Chain A
């Protein structure tokens, strides 16, 4: 099957006077699954639509499979870019049957009807809708429409599959199921994909790489693990799940083994990793709530263990969220242990320096 790489260079998209995307550059390798992640209005959907050819950029370049589809002198219309797309609204045509919806791309390409039938069947089986072919498309549930939209998008073997928040209209349980199915489908189709979402879990689950965007610019590019544990700045740390931010003065005199050490206003010493970033006299570290540990006795190890007090406890099922009084402020700690602490308990909170990451400011 065809797999194509995508290159986006200095992409700028304007809506009237508003600049939605301000000079975005990234590449997607052939067969790679890339996700554009960000809050609404960050330009992620606009970027996707520009790649699709549905939005005309003001400047920049887009190459698909090494061929320019947009540049100052070229603008290939969407229907000739050889891509496919799953829309947020599914965009299932209500006046056609499920079969006709899925067959559309093949019929556009004037395939013989026997091949159309065979490939539509195969696609419907793949999204587990084998028996629904003759049904009118307007009578489907949200999850079924989603699957039809998927089948319709990949049935004609496009070189790239684009996803515009395809799961955002489903309820939480179905969304979690579809996430797994989508991942499985991606693997079986072996296709290049660009996925847009504002949902962190979705992005972490299905991507090879994530591009975090805000206000039309890229904030960070990295693997799901990098994005999660090594956020580049406060925006990414904050947007990508919950993090505690700890600021203080540098204590270069205590720094060794490539670690950064800061002293908080309350006097606590915190060791963290620079992750290749440069630090000034004042520095800010981010640590995920799940990476902080609570113990009744001081844990072994020389650094990053401080006495603290449980202020409030909120049971949330998969984990318990503790609001902990530490160093004259509050830390949030998520803990999945079966042995809960009680409110008012005096405890020790600790963190592996590897997970206390220096932020760029």
Chain B
């Protein structure tokens, strides 16, 4: 115990020398410099492409000229000719939002407020629709309900009907596929609001003599309304920028939304960059306003229900209605997950897509073809490689950024956060358009290589990674790190023994999300991938429009299988590493 005596006097000599000069992990000496550096990095990643997007939209000279010969607002004025495309976009987004919110609200209410059987399990399963991306959903629903070859219409004609009964290649069809996907997003948001509501507020209403219906209308609904409205605005904004479902389902019927029209203008010959850029800027402006509105609604309204007191959400005994409610839950998961997955799998094993199974029609040929195609093999390999790189670099980068923003008390942290969350308000395709222009003239030739895609993924997934990791960082009370500091632990020691172990679940979750999102990314990849550096999702879309549907189904199944296999493998490796490395 005598040894401890030296602690205080030790500091006298070392303090001025080492800590005074470096001040390193505290940034006490040069916090402004660090802010500027980090802010600069964020600006390069996020604002550099946006700046080029805006520049392109203002170019009124030769559309192919770089840099622009003249500037003006002609491109924006000329957008009047495309009013119907903006109308289409709003129509699809509005229908899809209504359905998604209905799905999310219904599921949220059933799963958080009623005693439906198997609630806990269903709550977990509600994440699944999100993992069945809009592209998978669109491909599957095209197989199920396209007017000519869709399974439903095949059966209708086999039963003696004429023409078709359902048509997925319509605004309603696109909205349907999107709503099934966004329904799980709306569920998460609305379910959280319903759970955070103190049941005492409803109980107070009942004690004062109001019946169940009156309580629901006068108390419950007004309290959850800001949350529902917030979810609606958020989903609507996402929908405005959605791309893949509109591409797969809209193109055959020549039905365009803003993103697909932009894609068409950029990929046709000669490309019409300035008009596409003007469209992108317009869409971005609207989405930015929506995201701003969303933040306002969320910060203004929902605080009412959050009391900070621990309580259990009151579960209502709905008696015999439990079983119909269970049916609703099963039905949603069936159309959003089970049906699409089964359809894709079924189609991938067929010679010719047919609703009526015949033994002679089954084959493994699609898989053989898909695997023998060099494009598919290398594209899948590239995608997995990019996924690994994006997830690994992303977790480090975004972990560091989250820590800087939420823990280091850096001056201007709020502004940096705002910058980094920016890509959330920009459709990935629009963002990729800006990057296309930005990096084409970059002195290091990365255009057409996987490097460009890596940068693109790291940028567009910044909000996803930051939100996941910061969610965990904010849950860890600052005093957990401070108490380690008070025990005498240095910065590195604290990081190793306290911060990292506590962050581990969040970092693993972020890694997985980034990996899955990267491997299945479409909007940015389709514009940025080069002919010699293909990735899998755009290859699937290419195959859908130029090769057979059965082959496409096989490719989609292979992609999903590859993601699952990669994850299983990684988990096995990680577990072995932990077992060997641990004590």
Residues from chain A with Cβ under 8 Å of B486 in the complex: 52, 54, 78-79, 83-85, 153, 162
Tell which of B10, B23, B486 has the most Cβ of chain A within 10 Å: B486
Interface residues on B, range: 35 or more
**Interface positions of B from 258 to 316, Cβ below 8 Å from A:** none
Q: In angstroms, how far is the closest chain A Cβ from the Cβ of B15?
A: 5
In contact, B485 and A78 (Cβ under 8 angstroms)? yes
Whole-angstrom CA separation of A84 from B9 in the bound complex: 16
Contact A104 to B19, CB < 8 A, known contacts A80-B10, A158-B4: no
Whole-angstrom CA separation of A159 from B477 in the bound complex: 26
Q: In angstroms, how far is the closest chain B Cβ from the Cβ of A267?
A: 52
**One of A53, A67, A95, A105 near B8 (C-beta < 8 A):** A67
- The yes or no answer to A77 lying at the interface (CB within 8 A) is yes
- The yes or no answer to A1 lying at the interface (CB within 8 A) is yes
**Interface positions of A from 126 to 143, Cβ below 8 Å from B:** none
In contact, B487 and A156 (Cβ under 8 angstroms)? yes
Whole-angstrom CA separation of A159 from B7 in the bound complex: 8
Whole-angstrom CA separation of A159 from B5 in the bound complex: 8
Residues from chain B with Cβ under 8 Å of A64 in the complex: 8
**Interface positions of B from 464 to 518, Cβ below 8 Å from A:** 477, 479-480, 482-490, 493, 497-498, 501-502
In contact, A91 and B8 (Cβ under 8 angstroms)? no
- The yes or no answer to A279 lying at the interface (CB within 8 A) is no
Contact A74 to B502, CB < 8 A, known contacts A91-B477, A108-B489: no
**One of B480, B487, B501 near A105 (C-beta < 8 A):** B487
Taken residue by residue from 19 to 34, chain B's Cβ proximity to chain A (1 for < 8 Å, 0 otherwise) reads as 1100100101000000
Whole-angstrom CA separation of A156 from B20 in the bound complex: 26
**One of A2, A52, A80 near B15 (C-beta < 8 A):** A80
**One of A79, A88, A91 near B480 (C-beta < 8 A):** A91
Q: In angstroms, how far is the closest chain B Cβ from the Cβ of A66?
A: 9
Residues from chain B with Cβ under 8 Å of A158 in the complex: 4, 7
Contact A74 to B20, CB < 8 A, known contacts A67-B8, A159-B8: yes
In contact, A82 and B8 (Cβ under 8 angstroms)? yes
Residues from chain A with Cβ under 8 Å of B26 in the complex: 77
Whole-angstrom CA separation of A94 from B10 in the bound complex: 32
**One of B1, B8, B485, B489 near A1 (C-beta < 8 A):** B1
Contact A81 to B11, CB < 8 A, known contacts A75-B20, A93-B498, A108-B487: yes
In contact, B1 and A105 (Cβ under 8 angstroms)? no
In contact, A159 and B4 (Cβ under 8 angstroms)? yes
**Interface positions of A from 25 to 84, Cβ below 8 Å from B:** 52-54, 56, 64-65, 67, 69, 73-84
- The yes or no answer to B12 lying at the interface (CB within 8 A) is yes
Considering only CB atoms and an 8 Å cut-off, how many residues of chain A contact the other chain? Answer: 43
In contact, A89 and B488 (Cβ under 8 angstroms)? no
In contact, B489 and A79 (Cβ under 8 angstroms)? yes
Residues from chain A with Cβ under 8 Å of B488 in the complex: 79-80, 82, 105, 108-109, 156
- The yes or no answer to A152 lying at the interface (CB within 8 A) is yes
Residue of A nearest to B1 (CB): A157
- The yes or no answer to A87 lying at the interface (CB within 8 A) is yes
- The yes or no answer to A246 lying at the interface (CB within 8 A) is no
- The yes or no answer to A213 lying at the interface (CB within 8 A) is no
In contact, A95 and B485 (Cβ under 8 angstroms)? no
In contact, B8 and A75 (Cβ under 8 angstroms)? no
- The yes or no answer to B254 lying at the interface (CB within 8 A) is no
Residues from chain A with Cβ under 8 Å of B502 in the complex: 93-95
Q: In angstroms, how far is the closest chain B Cβ from the Cβ of A110?
A: 10
Q: In angstroms, how far is the closest chain A Cβ from the Cβ of B421?
A: 22
Q: In angstroms, how far is the closest chain A Cβ from the Cβ of B472?
A: 13
Q: In angstroms, how far is the closest chain B Cβ from the Cβ of A78?
A: 5
In contact, B490 and A65 (Cβ under 8 angstroms)? no
- The yes or no answer to B14 lying at the interface (CB within 8 A) is yes
In contact, B8 and A4 (Cβ under 8 angstroms)? yes
Contact A91 to B479, CB < 8 A, known contacts A1-B1, A104-B487: yes
In contact, A91 and B483 (Cβ under 8 angstroms)? yes
Whole-angstrom CA separation of A54 from B498 in the bound complex: 17
Whole-angstrom CA separation of A64 from B479 in the bound complex: 22
Contact A156 to B484, CB < 8 A, known contacts A80-B10, A80-B19: no
Residues from chain B with Cβ under 8 Å of A156 in the complex: 4, 487-488
In contact, A77 and B19 (Cβ under 8 angstroms)? yes
Residues from chain B with Cβ under 8 Å of A82 in the complex: 4, 7-8, 10-11, 488
Whole-angstrom CA separation of A76 from B486 in the bound complex: 12
Residues from chain B with Cβ under 8 Å of A78 in the complex: 482, 485-486
Residue of B nearest to A15 (CB): B409
Taken residue by residue from 91 to 127, chain A's Cβ proximity to chain B (1 for < 8 Å, 0 otherwise) reads as 1011100000000110011000000000000000000
Q: In angstroms, how far is the closest chain B Cβ from the Cβ of A126?
A: 14
Whole-angstrom CA separation of A54 from B478 in the bound complex: 11
Residues from chain A with Cβ under 8 Å of B483 in the complex: 85, 87, 91, 93, 149, 152
Taken residue by residue from 428 to 456, chain B's Cβ proximity to chain A (1 for < 8 Å, 0 otherwise) reads as 00000000000000000000000000000
**Interface positions of A from 220 to 263, Cβ below 8 Å from B:** none
Residues from chain B with Cβ under 8 Å of A105 in the complex: 487-488
In contact, A76 and B9 (Cβ under 8 angstroms)? no
Q: In angstroms, how far is the closest chain A Cβ from the Cβ of B497?
A: 7
In contact, B28 and A56 (Cβ under 8 angstroms)? yes
Whole-angstrom CA separation of A109 from B15 in the bound complex: 18
Whole-angstrom CA separation of A344 from B350 in the bound complex: 99
- The yes or no answer to B16 lying at the interface (CB within 8 A) is yes
In contact, A108 and B8 (Cβ under 8 angstroms)? no
**Interface positions of B from 397 to 450, Cβ below 8 Å from A:** none
Residues from chain B with Cβ under 8 Å of A152 in the complex: 483, 487
Residue of A nearest to B15 (CB): A76
In contact, A76 and B501 (Cβ under 8 angstroms)? no
Residues from chain A with Cβ under 8 Å of B10 in the complex: 80, 82
Q: In angstroms, how far is the closest chain A Cβ from the Cβ of B501?
A: 5
Residues from chain A with Cβ under 8 Å of B4 in the complex: 1-2, 82, 109, 156-159
Q: In angstroms, how far is the closest chain A Cβ from the Cβ of B475?
A: 11
Whole-angstrom CA separation of A2 from B1 in the bound complex: 9
In contact, A104 and B497 (Cβ under 8 angstroms)? yes
In contact, A75 and B11 (Cβ under 8 angstroms)? no
Residues from chain B with Cβ under 8 Å of A109 in the complex: 3-4, 488
Residues from chain A with Cβ under 8 Å of B498 in the complex: 93
Residues from chain B with Cβ under 8 Å of A93 in the complex: 480, 483-484, 498, 502
Residue of A nearest to B16 (CB): A74
Residues from chain A with Cβ under 8 Å of B497 in the complex: 104
Residues from chain A with Cβ under 8 Å of B14 in the complex: 80
Residues from chain B with Cβ under 8 Å of A94 in the complex: 502
Q: In angstroms, how far is the closest chain B Cβ from the Cβ of A289?
A: 33
Q: In angstroms, how far is the closest chain A Cβ from the Cβ of B477?
A: 6
Q: In angstroms, how far is the closest chain A Cβ from the Cβ of B3?
A: 8
Whole-angstrom CA separation of A64 from B490 in the bound complex: 20
Q: In angstroms, how far is the closest chain B Cβ from the Cβ of A192?
A: 11
**One of B12, B479, B501 near A87 (C-beta < 8 A):** B479
Residues from chain B with Cβ under 8 Å of A95 in the complex: 501-502
Whole-angstrom CA separation of A81 from B15 in the bound complex: 10
Whole-angstrom CA separation of A153 from B482 in the bound complex: 12
Query: What would be 15 A-B contacts, judged by CB atoms less than 8 Å apart?
Result: A54-B485, A56-B28, A67-B8, A74-B16, A80-B7, A80-B14, A80-B488, A85-B482, A85-B486, A108-B487, A108-B488, A152-B483, A152-B487, A156-B488, A158-B4
Interface residues of B (CB under 8 A from A): 1, 3-5, 7-12, 14-16, 19-20, 23, 26, 28, 477, 479-480, 482-490, 493, 497-498, 501-502
10 tightest A-B contacts by CB?
A82-B7, A105-B487, A91-B479, A91-B483, A85-B486, A87-B479, A82-B8, A157-B4, A78-B485, A108-B488
Query: Given known contacts A73-B16, A77-B26, A159-B7, what 16 new A-B pairs fall within 8 Å (CB)?
Result: A2-B8, A52-B486, A53-B485, A67-B12, A69-B15, A75-B23, A75-B28, A77-B19, A78-B482, A80-B7, A80-B11, A84-B487, A104-B489, A104-B497, A152-B487, A157-B1
